[in-house]
């Protein structure tokens, strides 16, 4: 079991620690609901150092990325970030990830913690056709980088205190290389997984403790809080963001998952599964990932059956929770064709009871 550079801070704060993706990680500090609200209304800090980072460099970096990813990295300019996924060659998804463009020959891929080894093997397996050399042009830097996600409507205001670079008004899905908290060459980005605004701060491991102390000192006047994996999950679900292993996996296609917007088709680009995904886009699919809210009181959970009014199975819940902001059960499920229209009534089978729900288009929570 690996520790992050910040583990001692979590333990000192009384975090409840659990094994997650091979790491010893905090699931909660003061409580999931309390931490969730703190991020929605103020500022919270997540240790996301367990995420994976791969560098792709050289003149063949862009052709390589254009082939292995569903989105088209050719649309990126320096300082921009793109959300995308690896199609697996069988109609499913290896992982979803972020691409950071530093320049035309330098990119950073940020992948999910649980999939680092799988993603690395997938990238290596595809690298040869582009002359990409593992260890040279393709480098796994996951063990060298620590990352904090500082999230919430007050996050950038608090973090601006730690740098002369203008970060408070940064556009979504952009990044800068800056000096931050006296640390040089910090990657400072604004992608966010909570829908509450904020930033991600990447540093070398040895600079982690200095970063932690500076972030919490700067945020003290804003009542900054440590936040665990539990609230990270409820926050992302309120926004309708997919979680790999729940809502997308090796058996779900980007089209089925509602990720057609990160699946770009153009005549000048071939990519893994292009023909199959284009066929799905044109002809349609038999199931789609859809959001729903509970009408009857109940908390949906992963793998719960979804049925129609006659009790016939029409789908399966992939993610579900009680929304801390809405105080209502919410979830996502793959539903059969015919049940995708907003306000369609469906039923979630919870403890042998069929409880009413209705289909909605996420995000579930929108701040007034």
pLDDT at 102 over 80: yes
- Exposure string of 155-193, with b = 16+ CB inside 10 Å and e = fewer, is bbbbbbebbeeebeebeebbbbebebbebeebbbbbbbb
The angle formed by the CA atoms of residues 325, 114 and 251, to the nearest 5 degrees, is 85
Q: Give the DSSP per-residue string, 144-189.
A: GEEEEEEESTTHHHHHGGG-SS--TTPPTTBEEEEEETTEEEEEEE
Q: Which of 9, 52, 17 is nearest to 230 (CA)?
A: 17
Instruction: Give the pLDDT band of residue 367 (cuts 50, 70, 90).
Output: confident
Q: How many CB atoms lie within 10 A of CB 282?
A: 9
Both tokens assigned to 297: 């009181």
Over the stretch 128-184, which tens digit does the pLDDT of each residue have? 999 999 999 999 999 999 999 999 999 999 999 999 999 999 999 999 999 999 999
CATH 2.40.30.110 intervals, the chain: 286-363
- How confident is the model over 223-228, as a mean pLDDT? 98
Instruction: Give the pLDDT band of residue 366 (cuts 50, 70, 90).
Output: confident
Contacts of 67 (CB under 8 A, 6+ apart): 126, 129, 130, 269, 270, 271, 272
Both tokens assigned to 166: 């203008």
Q: Write down the mean pLDDT value for the chain.
A: 97
Contact 231, 39 (CB under 8 A): yes
Over the stretch 16-38, which tens digit does the pLDDT of each residue have? 999 999 999 999 999 999 999 99
Q: How many CB atoms lie within 10 A of CB 8?
A: 12
CATH 3.30.1360.120 intervals, the chain: 7-51+144-238
pLDDT at 216 over 80: yes
- Exposure string of 239-252, with b = 16+ CB inside 10 Å and e = fewer, is bbbbbbbbbbbeeb
Percent of the chain with pLDDT over 70: 100
Half-sphere exposure of 91 (CA within 13 A, CB side): 9
Pairwise CA distance, residues 31 & 356, whole Å: 29
Pairwise CA distance, residues 312 & 246, whole Å: 23
The angle formed by the CA atoms of residues 192, 195 and 201, to the nearest 5 degrees, is 20
Question: Which class for 119: exposed (0-12), middle (13-18), buried (19 or more C-beta within 10 A)?
Answer: buried
Q: How many CB atoms lie within 10 A of CB 210?
A: 13
pLDDT at 368: 67
Pairwise CA distance, residues 301 & 294, whole Å: 12
Q: What one-character DSSP code corresponds to residue 251?
A: T
Instruction: Give the pLDDT band of residue 123 (cuts 50, 70, 90).
Output: very high
Q: Where are the alpha helices (DSSP H) in the chain?
A: 7-12, 32-41, 61-68, 116-127, 155-159, 208-219, 229-239, 274-283
Fold of 7-51+144-238: Gyrase A; domain 2 (3.30.1360)
Pairwise CA distance, residues 135 & 174, whole Å: 27
Q: Which of 108, 118, 342, 93 is nearest to 242 (CA)?
A: 93
Domain 286-363 has CATH 2.40.30.110: yes
């Amino acid at each position: 079991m690996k520790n992050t550079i910040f583990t001692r801070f979590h333990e000192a704060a009384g975090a409840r620690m659990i094994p997650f993706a091979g790491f010893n990680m905090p699931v909660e500090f003061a409580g999931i609901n309390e931490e969730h609200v703190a991020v929605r209304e103020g500022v919270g800090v997540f240790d996301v150092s367990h995420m994976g980072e791969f560098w792709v460099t050289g003149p063949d970096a862009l052709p390589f990325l254009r082939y292995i990813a569903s989105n088209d990295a050719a649309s990126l300019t320096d300082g921009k970030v793109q959300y995308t996924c690896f199609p697996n060659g069988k109609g499913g998804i290896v992982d979803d990830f972020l691409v950071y463009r530093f320049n035309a020959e330098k990119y950073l891929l940020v992948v999910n913690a649980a999939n680092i080894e799988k993603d690395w093997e997938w990238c290596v397996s595809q690298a040869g056709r582009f002359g990409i050399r593992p260890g040279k042009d393709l480098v796994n830097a996951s063990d060298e980088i620590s990352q904090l996600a500082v999230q919430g409507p007050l996050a950038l205001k608090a973090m601006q205190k730690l740098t002369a670079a203008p970060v408070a008004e940064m556009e979504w899905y952009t990044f800068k290389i800056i000096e931050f908290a006296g640390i040089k060459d910090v990657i400072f980005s604004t992608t966010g997984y909570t829908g509450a605004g904020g930033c991600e701060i990447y540093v070398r491991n040895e600079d982690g403790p200095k970063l932690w102390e500076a972030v919490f000192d700067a945020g003290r006047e804003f009542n900054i809080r440590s936040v665990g994996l539990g609230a990270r999950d409820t926050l992302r679900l309120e926004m309708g963001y997919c979680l790999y292993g729940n809502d997308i996996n090796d058996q779900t296609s980007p089209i089925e998952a509602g990720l057609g917007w990160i699946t770009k088709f153009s005549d000048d680009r071939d990519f893994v599964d292009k023909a199959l995904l284009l066929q799905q886009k044109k002809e349609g699919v038999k199931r789609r990932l859809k959001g729903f809210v509970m009408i009857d009181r109940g908390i949906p959970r992963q793998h719960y059956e979804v049925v129609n009014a006659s009790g016939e199975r029409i789908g399966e819940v992939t993610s579900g929770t009680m929304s801390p902001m809405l105080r209502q059960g919410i979830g996502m499920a793959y539903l059969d064709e015919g049940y995708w229209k907003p306000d369609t009534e469906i039923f979630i089978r919870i403890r042998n009871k069929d409880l009413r729900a209705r289909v909605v288009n996420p995000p579930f929570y929108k701040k007034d």
